[in-house]
Chains A and B, each alone.
Chain A
Amino acid sequence: MASASTVQDGLAGQGYVASPDLAMALHLALALGRPLLLEGAAGVGKTEVARALAAWKGCELIRLQCYEGLDAGQAIYEWNYQRQLLAIRALAEGGETGSAVEARLFSEAYLLERPLLRAIRQAVPPVLLIDEIDRADEEFEAYLLEVLADFQITIPEMGTVRAVTRPMVILTANGTRDLSDALRRRCLYAHVDYPDRATELAILEARCPQVGAALGAQIVAFVQDLRKEALEKKPGVAEMLDFAAALAGLGIADLTEDAGVLQVALATLLKTQGDRAAITTEVAQRLAGRAA
């Protein structure tokens, strides 16, 4: 029987190190057919979960990136207006009129699938990633609830499209706005935190094998300490990997080796001016010394 550890191993095979909590939540989401809501700070690997899951299951990843102003035309489906206009002219010249034209115009050929519609019409159940749901407006959230409840979409001109297979749905949020209780209740939930030292080391080994063990341990210790500093934007896992790749690329073997290079490489970790100013050469050296 599949269990949480199967999920954990499967994801590990794709280079994603999942915490036991997350693995269990994913396992339940798959077993019970429920959407999974992932929350956590930016850069802890929420989006990456979906990617690893799709790679592991060998299915397609369909991603819907939410933003303020997202509407049905971009999320579900849209008619191809230009083609429709041309077709109307052509058909009129051909002598066709009335309901025949209409039936032809509002058919599959003129339909532009957007992520949600595409996700429910796949023969193999895909992973549907609804990224940063908290950026979309409340109205869209309400609509999404409907889709997630029945997995069917009604197109007035064509009728109701029912899901061929149920996609595995993963939603991510990082607290731009409060989500509705209804959405939270429909989903299973997992909070993704910055990984602990051992986990982060495992991630680094899986993703950047070119970084040696000694330097790897230093990098992880350095980044973990850096997160404890009062920063506007704490470096995430992706930043840590960039940092490691940068150091490896620069041919550094030890963090305390060259203060100037370390300071330059910090550009991969600190993304705001305030943070750059806060981590001076002295602070960086102190952290590096502690990590070494």
Chain B
Amino acid sequence: MRGRVTRFAARDAGPAARVVGFMAHLRENGFRLGIGEGELALAALVEAGVEEAAVRRALKAVACGCAEDWARFDALFDAYWRNGGRVRSRAVPVGTPQAARSAMVGEGAPGLGAGAAPGTEAAGEGEAEGDGEGRLIATAARNLRRKDLREVVSPEDIRQAEAVARALGQALRDRRSRRRKAARRGEALDLRRTIRASVGTGGEPVRLMRRRRPERPVKIALLVDVSGSMVPYARAYLAFMAGLLRGDGAADAYLFHTRLVRVTEALREEDPLRMLNRITLLADGFGGGSRIGAALAQFAATYARRFVDGRTVVMILSDGYDSGSSDELAGAMARLARRGCRIVWLNPLKGWRDYAPVAAGMAAALPYLDLFAPAGTLEDLAALEGELGRL
């Protein structure tokens, strides 16, 4: 790798350093880039030529990894290459691969990364871990009704909930894969191994080898309503959510009220207190109104396309009191159901005596549900284990 960089540096030390600096700039903005990409970028530039449009396209092809990156790239490119003064002070000196290394450390532990980063802006880099957070901090002040979730949930709650969540997760884990793997007993013959074994017995397949479908865990996507009417249950639900995500690497979590936010990354935070801090920021609008239909429609149109498939259980925790139209909710449920997932709706009110799903939203959603059950407390959730196992 050094060879290539030096070859570049022999001609002109500037461009290579600036490209490496640009990669660091992208990394700070949430792109997943390692040393390899920096090297690849330089190789790509040799191929692409020096025209600005060509450079932009070449770097775009190298640095982007998904549709979100692709959409954001041009703005980031301009911010770096067309804002001379600020950028040049940040360009990384050639021959010290420190910047790249510190950024790799940064992926796991942002605090460490800041210490090793060169230049005067080292401290600032540590804070700007991801572009997402910066934006959320900016919007946090918008809603005055924001509540601090730390008052609602304690780290102890989360520990308790983890146990419940683990049990529920296990109850759901019985879906079979469609791939077959070799096994001692199974429903299909493994011809390859059978024939291999039959060579030793003169072509008689004395020992039959078999294959079967291994068990494959289901993914859980959890959508929790945190609107005003749900505040009494928030404690149990948020703890359950945190517990589920800490125990299950494939689970996915969202909060919704008037809009929907994905909180999966925040919930994976090691330290429970920091996690609650991050969620508090994300859950801006907590305790406000609810537009279930719009939130679910947004989910069905965006995240569900990426994360929800036939092996997913979508769990919605909400009381079904929707200030939007029930048609919108029905449409969203229909779209979601078409992804082949199973949908479970847990409603805290259902436990009440004489409860009937008269809320227009709830009634609209009912035909699409695989399970509609009461759940207001952690104990209720724990009791669901059997029901979920039968899904």
Contact = CB atoms under 8 A, between A and B. Distances in A.
A232 B305 CA distance: 12
Interface residues of A, number: 48
B275 interface: no
A35 to B, nearest CB: 12
* In the A-B complex, the 5 residue pairs with the closest CB atoms: A88-B203, A69-B178, A24-B57, A25-B61, A184-B65
A69 B306 CA distance: 18
Contacts of B358: none
A27 interface: yes
A232 B301 CA distance: 9
Interface string B183-212: 000000001100110110011000000000
Nearest to B61: A25
Given A89-B203, A102-B199, A24 B58 contact: yes
Contact of A177 (B191, B195, B196, B309): B309
Contacts of B33: 185
Interface residues of B, number: 43
A188 B47 CA distance: 14
Given A24-B58, A92-B203, A178-B307, A71 B65 contact: no
28 contacts: A3-B49, A3-B54, A20-B53, A21-B60, A25-B61, A27-B47, A28-B44, A32-B43, A36-B61, A71-B179, A81-B192, A85-B195, A85-B198, A88-B199, A88-B203, A91-B203, A92-B202, A137-B179, A157-B196, A175-B67, A175-B305, A177-B306, A178-B307, A184-B32, A185-B65, A189-B62, A190-B64, A191-B70
B66 interface: yes
Nearest to B34: A185
A85 B204 CA distance: 9
B306 A189 contact: no
Interface string B16-48: 000000000000000011101100100110011
B177 A39 contact: no
B209 to A, nearest CB: 12
Contact of B70 (A84, A85, A189): A189
B40 A177 contact: no
A177 B203 contact: no
* Overall SS of chain B's interface: helix
A279 B298 CA distance: 22
B124 to A, nearest CB: 26
Given A32-B40, A69-B178, A232-B335, A84 B307 contact: no
Q: Which of B43, B180, B192 has the most CB of A within 10 A?
A: B192
Given A25-B57, A92-B202, A175-B67, 5 more contacts: A24-B54, A28-B48, A78-B192, A81-B192, A185-B37
Interface string A229-249: 000100000000000000000
A56 to B, nearest CB: 18
A31 interface: yes
B26 to A, nearest CB: 13
Contacts of B191: 81
A165 interface: no
Contact of B199 (A31, A105, A176, A232): A105
Contact of B48 (A24, A69, A92, A139): A24
A188 B309 contact: no
B64 to A, nearest CB: 5
Interface of A: 3-4, 20-21, 24-25, 27-29, 31-32, 34, 36, 39, 68-71, 73, 78-79, 81, 84-85, 88-89, 91-92, 97, 101-102, 105, 137, 139, 157, 175-179, 181, 184-185, 188-191, 232
A68 B70 CA distance: 27
Contacts of A232: 335
Contacts of B61: 21, 24-25, 28-29, 36, 188-190
Contacts of A102: 199
Contacts of A177: 306-307, 309
A232 B332 CA distance: 11
A185 B32 CA distance: 8
Contact of B65 (A68, A157, A189): A189
B81 to A, nearest CB: 16
B78 to A, nearest CB: 16
Contacts of B34: 185
A79 B202 CA distance: 18
A44 B210 CA distance: 43
Interface in B348-391: none
B253 to A, nearest CB: 15
B247 to A, nearest CB: 20
Given A21-B57, A68-B178, A188 B62 contact: yes
Nearest to B55: A24
B307 to A, nearest CB: 7
Contacts of B58: 24, 28
A85 B67 CA distance: 50
A120 to B, nearest CB: 21
A150 B48 CA distance: 25
Interface in B47-101: 47-49, 53-54, 57-58, 60-62, 64-67, 69-71
